[in-house]
Amino acid sequence: MAATGDKAAVAASRCAFKPNAPDQHVVVKGDTLWDISGKFLEHAWCWPQVWGMNREQIRNPHWIYPGQIVYFDRVNGRLSLNKPGAGSNVRLSPQIRISNLDNDAIRSILPSEIEPFLVRPLIIEEDEFKSVPRIVATQEGHVILGKNDRAYVRGDLKGEKNFQVFHPGTPLKDPVTKKIIGYEAVYLGDVALSRTGKTPDEADTFVVRSSTEEIGVGDRLVPLPPTPIVNYVPHPPQQAVDARVVSVYGGVSQAGRNQVVSINRGSEDGVDVGTVLGLSTFGGTIADTTDGKKPVKLPDEKYGELFMFRIFKHVSYGLVMDVRAPVQIGDVASSPE
C-alpha cells in the first residue's frame, strides 16, 4: 500500500497546478490540449491525468471544441467542461455535431507541426541500410527519373508493392559511443510495383508515381508507411530512459519550440508515440581546483520538454515543446522527474 501511495504522491507532484492558474479558459480555434493545460498546470503534458481520463479515451479527440469553457475545479483538483458546483458532470465522449468533427475538434498538439515527418522514411538504421531494395537501372534514355518513368529494382520486397524512394543522407552518430546508428534519409518520391521479375536474377519493374527530387541508380526503397495516428496521448515512459539529442532536423545546430530533434533511443529502449522526456543540458566533468583537481561531475540542468512522435528501433523524433533555452546536440533527454 505504501508503494501505491508513493506513486500517487509522485503523480500529484508532477501534475501540480500553477499558483496563478486561472479559473477558466474559453477554447478558441487553434488551441491544443497541451497549450490549454499549460495555462493551468506546471507540466502541460499531465493533462490526461487532470481530466481523469485513460489513454484509450484520450485517443478519441472529439470531445472539446472552440467555444466551450474549460473550468478549473479547485476543490477536486481537476479540469472540467462543467462549471464547478453546477451539479452535473459533462461526459467526455464523441458528440454528434453538424460541423466537421475532424476540423473542429481540439487536438493534443497541432498536427501541422509534425505532418511532414509522419509519412517519410526519415531514419534508415545501420543494420537495415544494406538490406533495403535498390534501383539498379533506369528506363532507357532516362538518367534521371520522373513521374510515370520506369525503374528497375533488386532486393527483397517482402510482399510489398508501394514504396518510397530515398537517398541516404548524413550519418547519425551517437553522441556517447560515436558510432553510426542510422542515416537521415532524403525523401525523393513514391514508386509502385508494376511487374515482378520472372527469375531470381531478373529485376523487378517499378513506375514512379511522384517525385520531389531527382531519382536515379543507387537510390533505395522502403515500404510506404501506414496512415499515421493523428492524435497523441502524452505520458511518461514505461521504463527509465536516458537518451541524448543526436541531431536537429534541417542541419542546424540548435532548436527552439516546435522544432524537431532526434534522440539515440527508440522502441527497443522504452520509447513509444506520445512519450514525454525532460530536456537538460549535459553537466560535464571539471577539475575541482579547491581539492587537488579531483574530477567533479556537474549536474544536468533541466530546461524543457520533448514530445516523441515518430519511433524507430534505436532512434526517435520528438517535437520540442516548452523550453527556456535552445536545444543542442548532446543534450540529455530523460524520464521526467
Per-residue pLDDT tens digits for 300-320: 899 999 999 999 999 999 999
Q: Residue 322 sits in which domain range?
A: 242-334
Q: Is residue 53 part of a domain?
A: yes
Q: Is residue 235 part of a domain?
A: no
Other C-beta atoms closer than 10 Å to the C-beta of 268 total 10
pLDDT of residue 56: 55
- Determine the length of the chain: 337
Q: Is residue 230 part of a domain?
A: no
Q: Is residue 14 part of a domain?
A: yes
Between residues 167 and 126, the one the model is more confident about:
167
- Report which residue type is found at 58: I
Report the distance separating Cα 51 and Cα 90, nearest Å: 11
Examine the domain organization and report whether 278 and 308 are in the same domain. Answer: yes
Residue 120 CA from chain centroid, whole number: 13
CA distances from 313 to 125, 174, 186, 271, 310 (A): 8, 14, 19, 9, 10
Instruction: Tell me the mean pLDDT in the region 327-335.
Output: 94
pLDDT of residue 279: 96
Examine the domain organization and report whether 56 and 136 are in the same domain. Answer: no
Q: Quick one: cell of 66?
A: 472552440
- Report which residue type is found at 97: R
Q: Is residue 229 part of a domain?
A: no
Q: Model confidence over 235-272: pLDDT tens digits?
A: 899 899 999 999 998 778 899 998 999 999 999 999 99
Q: Is residue 271 part of a domain?
A: yes
Phi, psi for 45 (deg, rounded to 5): -70, -5
Q: Is residue 187 part of a domain?
A: yes
Q: Is residue 57 part of a domain?
A: yes
Between residues 233 and 94, the one the model is more confident about:
233
Q: What is the pTM of this model?
A: 0.78
Examine the domain organization and report whether 193 and 279 are in the same domain. Answer: no
Report the distance separating Cα 177 and Cα 189, nearest Å: 33
CATH code of residue 300 = 2.40.10.410
Report the distance separating Cα 218 and Cα 55, nearest Å: 43
What total number of domains does the chain contain? 3
pLDDT of residue 87: 56
Q: Quick one: cell of 204?
A: 523487378
